[in-house]
């Protein structure tokens, strides 16, 4: 009985969050520098909000959701077109969001970089952080691009986990809440470890990044727990100190799965 509602919801999702071009996606609900619907509230996006924006994280979620719904359909004996949909997005990912100049996946802006001059070309955003990792986090990137993203990911390593935004980009993004613009979030770090372990384990450099990142996360969260007797919402990118809400037994408890190397 759930299947028709799931199909209806997925149809609504695609209609309501589709971009200005077929096969692209744009989050709705932006207010100033906040884009709360994406979950990474103040993460830097284009300086101008236009219909020409293309969001790489939403594109990645759409493909992953297609594959997930297809798996549900198979499990309950329903014929499904959703794997074909997801595969189509995977095939077109690089054409929509790969920036060959910077060797990274990126959002595409509706205006010229660092200006409000509208453009139809969809310029790539230059900063580097969690958003650029999403095709790898969701497992839709091909290995040829994943190896480049994995190599670039070292730029986010802090000694305590992956920071949400590269250090030099934090200085030039303008207004923010210092929320998703540097702090270390365990949920996104978990997704990276999961991708390295289950999807890209054969990719050059993945084992080294996996080992270092896992060790850094375990060491810092354990150290902060001993110091404060709390788990924290996120962690400071230069000191590793817990910050935000505490005690926080939401996604920070993913550290237990990380320690056990269980990636769901």
Which amino acids are annotated catalytic? 41, 233
Compute the half-sphere exposure of residue 161: CA atoms within 13 Å on the CB side of its CA.
32
Q: Are 35 and 58 in contact (CB under 8 A)?
A: no
CA distance 249 to 157: 24
Cross-strand partners of 234: 243
CA distance 241 to 235: 5
Q: Are 196 and 206 in contact (CB under 8 A)?
A: yes
CA distance 153 to 92: 23
Q: Are 261 and 197 in contact (CB under 8 A)?
A: yes
CA distance 189 to 158: 12
């Amino acid at each position: 009985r759930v299947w028709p509602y799931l199909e209806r919801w997925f149809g609504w999702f695609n209609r309501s969050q589709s971009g200005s071009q077929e096969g692209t996606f744009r989050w709705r609900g932006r207010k100033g520098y906040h884009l709360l619907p994406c979950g990474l509230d103040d993460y830097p996006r284009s300086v101008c909000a236009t219909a020409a924006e293309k969001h790489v994280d939403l594109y990645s979620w759409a493909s992953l959701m297609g594959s997930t719904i297809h798996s549900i359909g198979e499990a309950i004996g329903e014929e499904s077109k959703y794997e074909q949909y997801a595969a189509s997005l995977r095939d077109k990912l690089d054409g929509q969001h790969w920036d060959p100049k910077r060797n990274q996946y990126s959002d595409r802006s509706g205006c010229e970089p660092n200006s409000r001059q509208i453009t139809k070309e969809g310029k790539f955003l230059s900063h580097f952080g969690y958003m650029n990792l999403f095709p790898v986090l969701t497992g839709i990137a091909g290995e040829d691009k994943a190896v480049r993203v994995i190599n670039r990911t070292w730029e986010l390593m802090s000694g305590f986990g992956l920071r949400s935004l590269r250090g030099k980009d934090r200085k030039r993004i303008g207004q923010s809440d210092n929320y998703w613009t540097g702090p270390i979030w365990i949920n996104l770090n978990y997704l990276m470890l999961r991708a390295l372990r289950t999807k890209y384990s054969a990719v050059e450099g993945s084992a080294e990044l996996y080992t270092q990142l896992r060790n850094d996360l375990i060491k810092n969260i354990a150290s902060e727990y001993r110091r404060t007797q709390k788990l924290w919402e996120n962690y400071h990118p230069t000191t590793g100190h817990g910050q935000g809400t505490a005690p926080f037994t939401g996604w920070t408890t993913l550290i237990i799965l990380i320690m056990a190397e269980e990636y769901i």
